[in-house]
Structure 1
Amino acid sequence: MTETAGAVGGIGGKRRYEAQAQAQAQSQAQADAESDADPDAQVQGVERAEAAEQDCPACGERIPADRRFVVWCVACGWNVDPGRGANKPAGTRVERLRRRLAHRFGEQLFADLGREPVSTSAPTTTAAAPGGAAGVLAAGLALLVHGITVALAALALWLLIGGWGRGFQPALGALFLALAFALRPRFGSLAKIRGDAPVLERLDAPRLFALLDEVAGAVGTRGVDVVLLDAEANASVLTYGIRQRRALTLGLSLWAVLDRQERVALLGHEFGHYAHGDTRHGVLVGSALRSLDTWQYMLAPNHGETIMDQLGNLLTAVPRLAVHGMTLLLDQATLRASQRAEYLADTSAARVAGATAAAGLMDRLLVTDSAESVLQRETVAARTRIGRTARSEDPAEGLWERVAAQVAAVPEREYERLRRVAELRGHCVDATHPPTHLRRRHVTRGERHPAGVVLDAARSADVDAELEEAGRTVARRVLRDGHMA
């Protein structure tokens, strides 16, 4: 849960998808408005949906036929994954390769970590850094990337100083110096990281930060300096600045649907990344990956049709391929370590919140689409003013409660179906995470112990009160700009 996957696909396909999603969301928003106006009809409709049954076409077993969800058979597995053949992994060839490798490494690490079962009795001290050839290769490639930047800066200074007054050498030196400056290791800044997201500091939310400090201490690390809030169904941690200050980003679409201990598990997972380390987010390798991203951006082919465009593409073809190859090598050299870091972060979640809460967190990751669909419907409803008579004049009021209610309505049999689908497809949050079903098994095997941190109702309410105003700000921005913006 430390990375988010980017959208993949052409602009034409995206427009078609958005048009269909908007039409479906508007239709659903109208239905929601009507049901809000007539609560009795809504309750009766839900009761009819839950009470309906049918015979399984494959085995004849009586099965629920709730049309809000996929109708399937627990006994024989009929229709458990109706879209399996049509929903093939999207993305480029490289992205599909990364997913296959993620699945393979995830299975290998699951077996390896089975010899070190989850224990909630003591902090986990296992490091996540890569060892052996992979670790040496990752460090070597990162040093090579930074070495190229240093060499480019040195060449630029030599051309500027030694070649001053000698034709075009100073101009070439200035160009190389600008390139070296663009490729310098970056530590990030809070202003760039936050964007327009609300930022909470300790004085803004003392009870929230007290909870964060307690969870971080139970995991074996220190807390964060700031908390950023957004609308995503995700959470992440990062460091920024030369002093490597810490920030936690909480996605309210995920936070809202978790129960109290699942929230502790989420925090335990994120702080687990600090406790166990993750090579990709370290200063050496992380800054090298960012430099390579800059190289790829600068060397991206120009899609113009002029002779100069084609000549430029030809001249940059070799360095572009070299940068691409180096990125792939560094990516693969750190993939296994990154997956191990995820497993160890899950171990931290199970230890601090309990195995049941950690497993519940994994289940919620399977239904994040439901939370996102609510945001899409609410955005359409706010823009078209549907259902205003049945709701508050400010549509942002209670948005996260409505997201939570949507996910709370998902029955256990749908979670079971999604768990089976995840196993069939090898579901991952993204290509750097192990398969979700293996992560869930990992946190539920081994000896069980009480949760290290218990979040009671009163304390949870205090934290929610501190998040309320910033959460309302995020809700207004979502409804104004759209969740997909």
Structure 2
Amino acid sequence: MLVHGFTAALLVAGLLLIVLGWETGIEPVEGLVLLAVAVALRPRPGRLPDGGPVLRRPDAPELFALIDEVAAVTGTTGVHAVAVSGDVNAAVTTYGIRRRRLLILGLGLWEVLEPQERVALLGHELGHFANGDLRHGALTHGALRSLALWVTALAPSRATTVWDTLFNIVGHLPRCAAYGLLLLLDRLTLRASQRAEYQADLGAARAGSTAGAVGLMDRLLVSGSVEVELRRESVAAQMTGGRAGHAAREAAEQGLWERIAAHLASVPEHEYERLRRVAALRGHSVDDTHPPTHLRRQCLERRAPERARVGYDGRRAAAVAREVIRHHAG
């Protein structure tokens, strides 16, 4: 509320100076400056990502039907769009003033998962909507985005002129205040965010079974290996030039995800066990907002086993794969 209130105060003060300060002629100018600052620092709604396909319901009916079924199991509704990327990641967010729901589906993760692990992944991501994740709420999420924008806008620039130096001096304390407030809000919401991850994991188990959710955790441990393999494939494809290189790149792209999946399938079980032990010792987590992976795994294993409530057989998996790969390749 303090963050949003500060922006609102700038807006109101600017309007009052413009409306009531015409006698001096200086106050309206100051009001315009305050309005410009308020507009620049306003909370911005999320946007659709650039650089990759964004699927709507007519584009991928099978995928959206699967998402709707998983959402119903986790106690929420589906999404309005799915952004497909090549990253080894998945996430949910909102975009636009109406806060429409967006699922970001990274093929680097999706393609290396087993069928029920994919269902568990969808259950986990949609579980953030079902459990009221504090950081996904309009108020807190908007404040975090605003503070991050403030810190970026007030970042010191290269001092090539006197005005640059003056800006760096004047903006130093406000930037420190914004950065400190960002850290404070991050720490205050960290526990709630980690609790939301555990709740989302339970949604993953309900949708894709406990075994599927636990398998998803194991795949996250080898996500770094997937990223290395993707970079290797990218470098190899770029080494060949000319028409032959273009044809070779197209051929490489066609079988890319099959090769990545085969690479992960070749990892023996004892290697996963070693990685689990190392993760427990080092406290591995997906990022700072996630609890340690081994604790998430223990949370799932210590509960009564869940059976998959959303089926994902070969026919359905093939139909979804055709929709996703076709649009990503296009």
TM-score (norm. length: structure 2): 0.94
Q: Which residue of 1 aligns with 2:318?
A: 461
| Alignment: residue pair count | 328
Amino acid at match of 1:398: G
Whether 1:151 aligns to 2:12 is: no
Q: Which residue of 2 aligns with 1:88?
A: none
**Structure 1 counterpart of 2:37, from 179, 183, 204:** 179
Cα deviation, residue 281, structure 1: 1.3
**Structure 1 counterpart of 2:112, from 257, 262, 272:** 257
Cα distance in 2 for partners of 1:392, 1:310 equals: 49
Cα distance in 2 for partners of 1:304, 1:443 equals: 54
Determine helix, strand or coil for the equivalent of 1:396: helix
Cα distance in 2 for partners of 1:165, 1:368 equals: 65
Cα distance in 2 for partners of 1:149, 1:392 equals: 50
Q: Which residue of 1 aligns with 2:224?
A: 369
Q: Tell me the alpha carbon deviations over residues 264-306 of structure 1, each in whole angstroms, 9 at most, x when there is no partner.
A: 0000001100100111110111111111112111211234265
Cα distance in 2 for partners of 1:275, 1:149 equals: 30
Amino acid at match of 1:443: L
Cα distance in 2 for partners of 1:292, 1:389 equals: 44
The 8 Å contact of residues 370 and 406 in structure 1, kept in 2 or not, is answered as no
Q: Which residue of 1 aligns with 2:237?
A: 382
Q: Which residue of 2 aligns with 1:425?
A: 282
Q: Which residue of 2 aligns with 1:272?
A: 127
The 8 Å contact of residues 84 and 106 in structure 2, kept in 1 or not, is answered as yes
Cα deviation, residue 409, structure 1: 1.2
Larger relative contact order (Cα-Cα within 8 Å, sequence gap ≥ 6) = 1
Q: Which residue of 2 aligns with 1:288?
A: 143
Cα deviation, residue 312, structure 1: 2.6
The 8 Å contact of residues 229 and 260 in structure 2, kept in 1 or not, is answered as yes
Cα deviation, residue 468, structure 1: 2.2
Whether 1:436 aligns to 2:296 is: no
Whether 1:205 aligns to 2:60 is: yes
**Once structures 1 and 2 are overlaid, which stretch shifts more, 305-314 or 316-325?**
305-314
Q: Which runs of 5+ in 1 are unaligned?
A: 1-142, 474-485
The 8 Å contact of residues 237 and 249 in structure 2, kept in 1 or not, is answered as no
Cα distance in 1 for partners of 2:139, 2:249 equals: 51
User: Residues 393, 223 of structure 1: CA spacing in aligned structure 2 closer, same or farther, 3 A cutoff?
Assistant: closer
Identity %: 54
Amino acid at match of 1:446: R
Determine helix, strand or coil for the equivalent of 1:394: helix
The 8 Å contact of residues 278 and 341 in structure 1, kept in 2 or not, is answered as yes
Q: Which runs of 5+ in 2 are unaligned?
A: none
The 8 Å contact of residues 252 and 471 in structure 1, kept in 2 or not, is answered as no
For 1:225-240, what aligned pairs fall within 5 Å after superposition?
225-240=80-95
**Once structures 1 and 2 are overlaid, which stretch shifts more, 325-334 or 464-473?**
464-473
Q: Which residue of 2 aligns with 1:219?
A: 74
Q: Tell me the alpha carbon deviations over residues 420-449 of structure 1, each in whole angstroms, 9 at most, x when there is no partner.
A: 111111011111000011111111112113
User: Residues 161, 390 of structure 1: CA spacing in aligned structure 2 closer, same or farther, 3 A cutoff?
Assistant: closer
Cα distance in 2 for partners of 1:229, 1:389 equals: 23
For 1:22-171, what aligned pairs fall within 5 Å after superposition?
143-164=1-22, 166-171=24-29
Cα deviation, residue 307, structure 1: 4.9
Cα deviation, residue 308, structure 1: 4.2
Cα distance in 2 for partners of 1:411, 1:389 equals: 35
The 8 Å contact of residues 128 and 197 in structure 2, kept in 1 or not, is answered as yes
Whether 1:399 aligns to 2:273 is: no
Cα deviation, residue 183, structure 1: 2.0
The 8 Å contact of residues 85 and 106 in structure 2, kept in 1 or not, is answered as yes
Cα distance in 2 for partners of 1:428, 1:393 equals: 35
Cα deviation, residue 193, structure 1: 2.1
Instruction: Note the aligned Cα RMSD (angstroms).
Output: 2.0
Determine helix, strand or coil for the equivalent of 1:262: helix
Q: Tell me the alpha carbon deviations over residues 320-359 of structure 1, each in whole angstroms, 9 at most, x when there is no partner.
A: 2211111111111100000000000001111111111101
Please identify the structure whose Cα radius of gyration is greater.
1
Cα distance in 1 for partners of 2:158, 2:323 equals: 49
User: Residues 435, 393 of structure 1: CA spacing in aligned structure 2 closer, same or farther, 3 A cutoff?
Assistant: closer
Question: Which one has the bigger helix percentage?
Answer: 2
Q: Which residue of 2 aligns with 1:21?
A: none
